[in-house]
Amino acid sequence: MHKKDDIVKIYDDMFNLIGAEKWSIVHERGLLHQVVHLWMYGDEPSGRWLYFIQRSKDLDVFPGLYDLPVSGHIDPDETFSHAVVTLTQERLGLKLLPEYLKHVGNIRQIIDSDNYHDNAFCQIYVKCLRLPIPEFEIHDAEMLFKVKYDEFCQWVKSPTGELPIYTPNGEFIKNSVEADWWWPRKNEFTTVVKPYIDSQN
C-alpha cells in the first residue's frame, strides 16, 4: 500500500521529467506521473479466466471495489518491470520474473473524485498464469478472485446483469453487479488488454 510520503517522478504534458514529489501531493494537485498495471489470466481445462482483487475496505479512495490484481506507482530508481515484480510479491505473494512479463501498451488515466485527482500514464503488463494455480498470499486487499473470460468480455460491454465470481480454485463466491466494480479499468481492458489476450492461443 502506498504511503502519503512515498516519492514519485512527475512529468509535464509532453512527458518530460520535471522532478519528483510526495504521493499525497501528486494526487492532491493531479500531477502527471507514471504507474504500472498488471492483468493476469489463465487457461485451464474449464476455459480462460481473468483474475481480480477486491480493494481493501480501509482505503481512502474507492474502498472495497473490484479491481485489477496489481497496480501502483514506480519508485524513482525503479524500472517499470521491476515495479511490477516488487508490487506483485508485496500484494499477492507471487514471485515473477521480469522476462516472463508482457508489456502490452499504455493508456492515460485521469480520475477526479472530490480531493483525489489521479493523472497517470499507465504502463500495462499482462501475465499468463500456468497450472497448477499458484499459492497466493494476499496483502492489502480483501480477496483475490477470478471470472470466466468470455463472460467478462460480454458483461463489460453492458454490465446490467450479474457476473459470477470464483475463488482461484474455482469455487463459486457470488454474483457480482456493476456497483461492485471500479470502472476506470474498463477502457483499458477493451482497448489494450483484451486485444492482446485474444491474440494468445
Which DSSP string do the residues of 92-105 spell out, in sequence order? H-----GGG-EEEE
- In this structure, is residue 129 part of a structural domain? yes
- In this structure, is residue 194 part of a structural domain? yes
Stretch 97-121: mean pLDDT: 82
Q: What is the DSSP string of 140-161?
A: SEEEEEEEEHHHHHHHHHSTTS
- In this structure, is residue 65 part of a structural domain? yes
Residues in a beta bridge with 129: 42
More confident site: 117 or 190 = 190
The CB density around residue 103, as the number of other CB atoms within 10 Å, is 15
Per the structure, the count of domains in the chain is 1
7 pLDDT higher than 90: no
What confidence score (pLDDT) does residue 186 get? Answer: 87
39 pLDDT higher than 90: yes
- In this structure, is residue 172 part of a structural domain? yes
As a whole number, the mean pLDDT across the chain is 88
- In this structure, is residue 112 part of a structural domain? yes
- In this structure, is residue 2 part of a structural domain? no
More confident site: 201 or 136 = 136
Grade residue 1 by pLDDT with cuts at 50, 70 and 90.
very low
Q: What is the pLDDT of residues 140-177, one digit of tens each?
A: 899 999 999 999 999 998 888 899 999 999 999 999 99
Cβ–Cβ under 8 Å, residues 126 and 200: no
179 pLDDT higher than 70: yes
- In this structure, is residue 34 part of a structural domain? yes
CATH number at residue 33: 3.90.79.10
What confidence score (pLDDT) does residue 4 get? Answer: 52
Q: What is the pLDDT of residues 41-79, one digit of tens each?
A: 999 999 999 999 999 999 877 899 999 999 888 877 788
What confidence score (pLDDT) does residue 120 get? Answer: 78
Considering the entire predicted model, what is its pTM? Answer: 0.89
What confidence score (pLDDT) does residue 45 get? Answer: 93
Q: Domain containing 53: what range? A: 7-198
Q: Is the dihedral of CA 99, 104, 196, 199 positive or negative?
A: negative
- In this structure, is residue 95 part of a structural domain? yes
